[in-house]
């Protein structure tokens, strides 16, 4: 009985973890530049004294779906989207370099160029600072040009260039904050072949229909495992009653 209960209990626990990951993907269906997580189960023998007669399920994140989302034109000068593969370099909260596809850029109160989530965008020599200006333009190569306050149009000047990278996806890992980082902890080199689509943003790559279907399947799987635990309890009770009659 304990074998059956153990397998059912473990399966229900791991299914709950998979449901949480799937629900997180679904919740970020409208998050700009979001990359969905891929989930998988695998069988793991339970080793200990004696033979490994018990096998439990283990849920794990198989990777990240790096398929591009849909690019939508907004006309906003600070909105940018990666054309094809690649990432925008940003500064993570711990000061390290991280990468994102979220191109809904903005200028903070202290003049720093940040993503919509508040992560500073990295340029040629660190986080990019934007001087007071009346116009800002971002080129397809990431070059940022500004027109200083009170100047004529011909006074447009380049202030920095957004660092764009394109490391191999198998060398990347996604953190709990949604940022992408190198598994080695190093910084990826700038790639001149990565280009931006200005005045546009990229949507999340979450397939809402697939996520909804997966949510229903996982819910039914969890229900089945809970029923198995109830069945085990009933069988155990019946067995105890039979033993009392002996």
The rounded distance, in Å, linking the Cα atoms of 153 and 143 is 17
Domain that holds residue 85: 71-202
Same domain, 62 and 83: no
- Whole-model pTM over 0.95: no
Same domain, 54 and 100: no
Same domain, 10 and 47: yes
Same domain, 58 and 80: no
The rounded distance, in Å, linking the Cα atoms of 36 and 59 is 16
The count of domains in the chain is: 2
pLDDT in tens, the chain (246 residues): 466 777 777 778 778 888 888 888 999 999 999 999 887 666 666 666 766 666 666 655 567 889 999 999 999 999 999 999 999 999 999 999 999 999 999 999 999 999 999 999 999 989 999 998 899 999 999 999 999 888 888 888 999 999 999 999 989 989 888 899 999 889 999 999 999 999 999 999 999 999 999 899 988 988 888 888 888 777 777 777 777 766
Strands 97-100 and 71-73: unpaired
- Do 25 and 193 contact (CB within 8 A), yes or no? no
Local structure of 216: helix, strand or coil: helix
Closest CA to 105 of 78, 126, 81: 78
- The angle formed by the CA atoms of residues 53, 57 and 63, to the nearest 5 degrees, is 140
């Amino acid at each position: 009985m304990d074998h059956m209960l153990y397998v059912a209990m473990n399966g229900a626990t791991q299914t709950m973890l998979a449901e949480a990951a799937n629900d997180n993907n679904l919740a970020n269906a409208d998050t700009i530049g979001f990359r969905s997580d891929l989930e998988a189960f695998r069988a793991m023998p339970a080793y200990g004294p004696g033979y490994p007669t018990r096998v439990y399920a283990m849920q794990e994140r198989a990777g990240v779906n790096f398929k591009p989302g849909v690019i939508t034109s907004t006309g906003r000068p600070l909105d940018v989207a990666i054309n094809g593969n690649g990432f925008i370099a940003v500064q993570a909260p711990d000061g390290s370099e991280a990468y994102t596809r979220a191109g809904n850029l903005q200028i903070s109160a202290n003049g720093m160029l940040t993503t919509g989530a508040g992560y500073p965008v990295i340029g040629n020599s660190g986080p990019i600072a934007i001087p007071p200006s009346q116009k800002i333009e971002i080129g397809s190569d990431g070059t940022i040009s500004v027109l200083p306050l009170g100047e004529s149009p011909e006074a447009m000047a380049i202030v920095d260039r957004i660092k764009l990278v394109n490391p191999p996806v198998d060398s990347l890992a996604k953190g709990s904050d949604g940022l992408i980082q190198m598994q080695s902890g190093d910084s990826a080199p700038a790639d001149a072949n990565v280009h931006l689509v200005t005045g546009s943003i990229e949507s999340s790559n979450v397939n809402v229909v697939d996520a909804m279907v997966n949510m229903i399947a996982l819910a039914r799987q969890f229900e089945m495992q809970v029923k198995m635990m109830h069945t085990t309890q009933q069988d155990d009770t019946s067995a105890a009653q039979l033993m009392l009659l002996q």
